[in-house]
Amino acid sequence: MIHEFDTEAGPKRAAFRCKLMELTDNGRSVQLYVTDLCGLDGWSVPEEIAAEIPCYEGLPLAGYAGFAWSAGWIDTDTLVEVFDLEHRWLAEATTYLATHKPWAVLSVVIHGPDTFHHLLSNFIDRQFTPDPEQLEYYQGIERTYYKCIDHAVGRIADLADEETVLAVVSDHGTKATTRRFIPARIMADAGLTVFKDPLPPMKDDVPRTREEVMDQLMPFHAPPADWSKTKAIMVGECYICVNLKGRHPEGIVEPEDYEAVRDEIIKVLYDYTDPVTGIKPVMLAVRREEAMFFGLYGKMGERVGDIVYAINPRFGRQHGPAWPTHEIGIGSLKGLFLMVGPGVKRGEVLKRRVNLVDVVPTLCHLAELPVPRDCEGAIVYQALEDPDAKSKELERVRDNFRRLKAIYEAQQAESHTYNL
């Protein structure tokens, strides 16, 4: 359904769909699921483009159907259907833009797999779902889900002709949700962080139900800190920041004590042992300047915490503070890189590691586009049919130019002229 709604910003068009979830024979009990209202204009750049994009097959969903799923409002099959609506719309929108607008580079982000595995990773992994029937059901759900993804990717790939390079890339993999680990508790016990109220109780066990999975997915909300007593505090997924005087409005750590506080934080993180498993959750804790080897430097480095840490994959959520190469059960944090097109080898499995920063220079090299000024990656030459193809082509052009120049200079050097 497409309807115009009155909003504070004036009339806005939105699309939505409904699904009948339950209807008793006597009609007295009805359960109707209504998707998010999906705005059809005002969110694009240029602004007028959004209103042009058709909305026949899917929906431009930006909501989170996982809440409806965890609350039991929709079943898992319906959850996949909602994901599929978003994927169909992305393919529909991409097809429209590629066939109605000029383009040199076309980039599509499908975020659904990230959300899907946040919700279902534990249910498709045998070590966390021992019930064979339940395991078979959820693994079947994952296969169905990937068919939806493949359909969308296939439609987008069909837009590429024989002169177009196509790459399919993921920014990370995923694993099951394991035992929870919150460094804020360790920091509080060590007196490095002082909260105005006690920390809320949290379940540390591996989640087994929908509700437990959603509880683990919720961000950790600590009570307000008492900045007059707090030396350092956990920030985001894998940072700890020192409450440094002169840098923060309520900083209490003197600059001359900065290194000592950082030493104390690292010691506290490494010393902690999980009382239930006997395992040390923190595998790595380094100073921000040492994190440059992970790519955290330059302008990004200015926003990095004073301490960067990584945790054992037997702790934590699906991705974030775990090391990018970690694997546990059927889960892996490693990403995916596929590429096809002119100049690209066929059927080749690369032995070298491909980093995300390598994708842009490789595509620029193949497409003969300028490499961005701040590009940090390397061209994946191992994926190319002829790594020297561009230099050979350039040499041919130079050789042809030299020949043309020689012919021109020889004609200029002739001593006789023609009278017509």
* Sign, Cα dihedral of 126, 129, 132, 134: negative
CA-closest candidate to residue 206, choices 315, 117, 324, 283: 315
How much is the pLDDT for 397? 87
Quick one: pLDDT at residue 301?
60
178 phi, psi to nearest 5 deg: -110, -165
Distance from C-alpha of 270 to C-alpha of 282, rounded to nearest angstrom: 6
Q: Name the helix (H) or strand (E) containing 263.
A: helix 258-271
DSSP state string for 308-377: EEEE-TTBSSSSSSB-TT-EETTEE----EEEESTTB-SSPPP-S---GGGHHHHHHHHHT-PPPTT---
DSSP code of residue 199: P
How many beta carbons lie within 10 A of that of residue 405, not counting itself?
A: 10
Predicted local confidence at residue 236, as pLDDT: 84
Pairing of strands 38-39, 30-34: unpaired
Question: Would you tell me how many other CB atoms lie within 10 Å of the CB of residue 160?
Answer: 14
Distances (CA, A) of 123 to 6, 131, 141, 329, 391: 42, 10, 10, 12, 51
Residue corresponding to tokens 């030459």: 381
Pairing mode of beta strands 18-23, 30-34:
antiparallel
Token digits of residue 396: 């041919």
DSSP state of 72: T
Query: Tens digit of pLDDT per residue, the chain (420 long)?
Result: 999 999 998 999 999 999 999 999 998 999 999 999 999 988 999 989 999 998 888 999 877 788 888 888 899 999 999 999 999 999 999 999 999 999 988 999 999 999 899 889 889 998 888 889 999 999 999 999 999 999 999 999 999 999 999 999 998 999 888 888 889 999 999 999 999 998 877 666 677 777 777 776 666 778 899 999 999 999 988 899 999 999 999 999 999 999 999 999 999 999 999 988 899 999 999 999 888 887 777 666 678 899 999 998 888 888 888 888 888 888 899 999 999 999 999 999 999 999 999 999 999 999 888 888 888 899 999 999 988 888 888 888 898 888 888 888 888 777 656 566
Q: Return the pLDDT at 295.
A: 77
Give the residue extent of every domain in the chain. Answer: 2-159, 160-174+334-413, 183-204+211-317
- Report yes or no: 145 and 83 within 8 Å, Cβ to Cβ: yes
Closest C-alpha to 381, from 414, 413, 344, 356: 344
List residues bridging with 338 in a β-sheet.
168
- Name the amino acid, one letter, at 151: H
User: What does the alpha-carbon distance between residue 181 and residue 316 come to, in Å, rounded to a whole number?
Assistant: 6
**Cα separation, 203 vs 185, whole angstroms:** 13
Helix (H, G, I), strand (E, B) or coil at 190: coil
pLDDT at 69: 87
Query: What is the Cβ-side half-sphere exposure of residue 73, based on CA atoms within 13 angstroms?
Result: 14
**Are 152 and 353 in contact, with CB atoms under 8 Å apart?**
no
How many helices (H) and strands (E) would you count in the chain?
11, 13
Which distant-in-sequence residues (6+ apart) come within 8 Å of 198 by Cβ?
223
CATH class of 183-204+211-317: alpha beta
**Looking at the DSSP assignment, which residues form a beta bridge with residue 2?**
15
> Is the alpha carbon torsion for 261, 263, 266, 272 positive or negative?
negative
Query: HEC string of 359-387?
Result: HHHHHHHHHCCCCCCCCCCCCCHHHECCC
pLDDT of residue 70: 83
